[in-house]
Amino acid sequence: MQIKHLIICLTFIFIGQNPNEESMTWSESRRLTWADFKGDVNPNSDAVALTASGITFGFSVSTSGSRIVDYSTSVEAHFYPNKSWYNKEKADDYILGHEQLHFDITELYTRKFRERLTKLRVNQNIRKQLKQLHTSINEELNETQKRYDEQSVHSINTEVQNQWRELITAELAKLDQFKSQ
């Protein structure tokens, strides 16, 4: 049996990313601290902080002749310290909670991605299906991140901020079997 492997690693984050750049994988036991935000503050931004996070995705397919016989995937939620920043004079624990929730939303969509991957079956179009699924999950993630900031007014609306925290906590719990290790 001839086996060929194709690995595709794609990263989605809010700003450009070098695959060799420092990153942190999401962990239930490891919350972000301000020390994790190592990037330079954007002097042209009104934001107090920026979280650069995204989903890394890779897959390989095994073939026998020209027929695809198996595939495997890797999906992780990452935080990019050197692209994330905060304004030390304005930042506080409340803002850090808002930024952590951005990373938690990334983990939520990582879990959704893993769940959807379990529903795919080996077929000759699996590469295309994997790429389409990756694209669609990133579009959903991006829309949710934007909606979170818009609805919470970038954390200013504390009531909505709390509603989002409760929602994301509940959604993460529903997909606990797909969490990052």
Domain boundaries defined on the chain: 10-178
Q: Name the pairing type of β-strands 53-64 and 10-12.
A: antiparallel
Q: What Å distances lie between residue 103 and 7, 10, 44, CA to CA? A: 25, 18, 23
Q: How confident is the model at residue 141 (pLDDT cuts 50, 70, 90)?
A: very high
Please give the share of the chain, as a percent, with pLDDT higher than 90.
86
H helix intervals, the chain: 93-118, 126-152, 158-174
Looking up tokens 């016989």, which residue turns up?
Answer: 69
Q: Which band of pLDDT confidence, cut at 50, 70 and 90, is reported for residue 124?
A: very high
Report how far residue 181's alpha carbon sits from residue 167's, in angstroms, rounded to the nearest whole number.
22
Q: Going by C-beta distance under 8 Å and a sequence separation of 6 or more, which residues neighbour residue 66?
A: none
pTM (predicted TM-score): 0.88
Across the range 139-158, mean pLDDT stands at 97
- Give the whole-angstrom CA distance, residue 126 versus residue 60: 10
Q: What is the pLDDT of residue 2?
A: 33
Give me the DSSP letters along 4-51: ------EEE-SS---TTS--EE-BTTB---GGG--SPP-TT---SEE-
pLDDT at 21: 83
Please compute the mean of the pLDDT values over residues 111-121 and round it to a whole number.
Answer: 97
Percent of the chain with pLDDT over 70: 90
Residue from 142, 141, 144, 162 nearest 152 by CA: 162
- Residue 11 to residue 17: CA distance in whole angstroms: 7
- Model confidence at 18, pLDDT cuts 50, 70, 90, reads low
- Name the residue among 20, 40, 5, 158 with its Cα closest to residue 95: 158
| 3-class state of residue 154 by DSSP | coil
pLDDT at 181: 79
Give the pLDDT confidence of 26-42 residue by residue, as tens digits. Answer: 999 999 999 999 999 99
Q: What is the mean pLDDT of residues 93-103?
A: 98
Q: Is the model's pLDDT at 15 over the cut of 80?
A: no
CB 48 within 8 A of CB 86: yes
